[in-house]
Amino acid sequence: MKIKNVILTKSYTGFYFDDQRAIKKDAAHDGFMYDGEALTDGFTQIRVPGEAISVQIILDDDSVAVGDCAAVQYSGAGGRDPLFLADDYIPKIQKYMIPHLIGEDLSTFKPLAEKYDQFEIDGHRTHTAIRYGITQALLNAVAVANKKTMVEIIRDEYNASYQTIERVPIFAQTGDDRFTNVDKMILKEVDSMPHALINNVKEKLGYNGEILLEYISWIRNRIISKRLKEDYAPILHVDVYGTIGIAFNQNIDRIIDYCKDLEKTAFPFKIRLEGPIDTGDREGTMLALKEITKRLDDENIGVEIVADEWCNTLEDIKYFADQKAGHVLQIKTPDLGGLNNIAEAILYCKNAGVGAYCGGTCNETNISAEATTSVAMACHADLCLAKPGMDVDGGFMIVKNMMERVIALINSRK
């Protein structure tokens, strides 16, 4: 089976692009928007509607496969590619990539993914969002051509020894509605929560971390009082976007002491802390996370560190994993480009003894969520993000239902 045609359309994502630099500089909320000037290149305002490019691959038999080119909410921050606007990139894909895609054989995924993940235009590798969406469409197309699920294609080509396809624990995020959305997570018994979007010291963390401690205490008590089953014990996973380092002047001793407070406050629930420090560069952030991780282990403090910012590419993930710069690494799926890199990153983390969190962003689509959930299942990731959106319900529904459908379908073939 070969590719007969490729169709592109401008699409919208499940959330927005946000200027992280401006938000960290105390940009004020105005309803759902922000007041103030944008600080990151490409942004004309602090919050911009999220855009994607849908890629439809038409096969010889007129079957259709789909992928979505999408980028993270905080584009242009933490070493990532710039803001991704559909009108800027559709002409480039049409001119430079589609002529190569037409006629490609769809027998296997891996060589195609590697080819288009390395694709260059005018001597430069294409935007991560393009590589992300093109390889999604190719994976879907290979699955259609071979009458298999996307999970089976990835498993057979990357992780053939893993025969039993199982559910991956799901992690949901509240966005700024960090109280009502926790209740939704408790009702649906989400495995890990709440993320909480702690991206500002003044409003969300507190200059001594007091606002976050109060919030963790509230979550702990809310779960205990409202859970329907006594054995429901989600992992509390909070993303702080480097604000703890900002509040404590990058002082590791103070961060460790604060982790002790978080552990006590969260008990009896396990707690993970994503991005406690961001030095503004890869090496400095890696070294700081490595030291924090080691100190927590040496002092037997039950807080797990999750690396995110500056741990973007497959190369970054291998580097952070080798250095043990975090107990868990977020594989922020749009930042890796091709799905081939996501599969390799998950497997590399697992082989290195580091937790593999197949994450992503609220600013994706249902199509990209299903593709990356397929990779997470095939490679047996430790955690999978419910996405897109910040409402909990939509992202959780897409990811959870997709897992259940795939497992039921594969089991029916036995």
Assign 343 to helix, strand or coil: helix
24, 184, 332, 387: which is the annotated catalytic residue? 332
Give the whole-angstrom CA distance, residue 39 versus residue 394. Answer: 31
Q: Which of 147, 149, 198, 151 is nearest to 175 (CA)?
A: 198
Give the whole-angstrom CA distance, residue 100 versus residue 376. Answer: 29
Give the whole-angstrom CA distance, residue 234 versus residue 186. Answer: 9
Give the whole-angstrom CA distance, residue 59 versus residue 3. Answer: 5
Asked whether 287 and 251 are in contact (CB, 8 A), the reply is: no
Instruction: Tell me whether residue 332 is one of the annotated catalytic residues.
Output: yes
- CA separation (Å) from 160 to 100, 105, 151, 152, 163? 29, 22, 11, 9, 7
Give the whole-angstrom CA distance, residue 95 versus residue 126. Answer: 13
Q: State the DSSP code for 123.
A: T
Residue 239 β-bridge partners: 274
The two structure tokens encoding residue 215: 């919030």
Asked whether 7 and 224 are in contact (CB, 8 A), the reply is: no
Residue that the structure tokens 């600080």 belong to: 39
136: annotated binding-site residue? no
Residue that the structure tokens 């983390």 belong to: 349
173: annotated binding-site residue? yes
274: annotated binding-site residue? yes
| Annotated binding-site residue numbers for (2S,3S)-3-methyl-L-aspartate | 173, 330
Indicate the annotated binding residues for Mg(2+).
Answer: 239, 274, 308
Residues taking part in catalysis: 332
Q: Which residue ranges make up the annotated binding site?
A: 173, 239, 274, 308, 330
